[in-house]
Amino acid sequence: MDVMAAIQKRRSIRNYLPKPVEEKKLKSVLEAGRLAPSAHNAQEWKFIVVKDAETRKKLAEACRNQSFIAEAPVVIVGCGLNPAKKMSGGQFSCPIDLAIAVDHMTLKAVEEDLGTCWIGSYDEPAVKTILKIPAEVNVVAIFPLGYPAVYPKPRPRKNFIEVFVSDRWA
């Protein structure tokens, strides 16, 4: 599968089959994140791979009771190790670096016939407690990983000319 095909096929999956993710596929998805670029190649991240059913259930509760999260056989939690670090342009590098890595993983998941859903609604202190994450570390991304039970239709996107301009703001 080429990259554009994976981009076009990717959906937010909220229903998962009760089928485990093969270790080879999981490692392939994780490797895609490991290879992602980061500011100054610092790679200031850690990913927690959660397979334990009870822990996944607790995470689903901490994610505002989004029960489908616990249905997936794997939940990946992306953590930023240096949340105060800024790039020279003034932006915090942690959320940007993690977004790139997670995007790599979500696209690799599509290639492996797996589904994901980026979870943006969660109680960070609760997630930290469940996973014993240190206070100085930020939870940046949470996403379930598994075989889709339902494959949603594409969502509408703005037209090209609404998104891109040439040479200056217009």
Per-residue pLDDT tens for 77-110? 999 999 999 999 999 999 999 999 999 999 999 9
Residue 100 lies in a domain: yes
Can you give the pLDDT at residue 163?
Answer: 97
CA distance 20 to 73: 6
Residue 97's identity, in one-letter code, is D
In a domain, 124, yes or no: yes
Give residue 21's pLDDT: 98
Contact 56, 70 (CB under 8 A): yes
- Say how far apart CA 22 and CA 90 lie, in whole Å: 41
* Mean pLDDT value across the chain: 97
pTM, to two decimals: 0.96
159 lies in a domain? no
Task: List pLDDT tens digits, range 17-65.
Answer: 999 999 999 999 999 999 999 999 999 999 999 999 999 999 999 999 9
Q: Using the predicted structure, report yes or no on whether residue 170 has a pLDDT greater than 90.
A: no
4 has a pLDDT exceeding 90 = yes
Place of tokens 């670029």: 37
Flag whether 163 is in a domain: no
CB 118 within 8 A of CB 135: no
pLDDT more than 90, % of the chain: 99
Domain that holds residue 110: 3-151
Which residues, at least 6 apart from 25, have a Cβ–Cβ distance to it below 8 Å? 112, 114
Does residue 44 contact residue 38 with C-beta atoms inside 8 Å? yes
Which H/E stretch holds residue 93? Answer: helix 93-111
Q: How many domains does the chain have?
A: 1
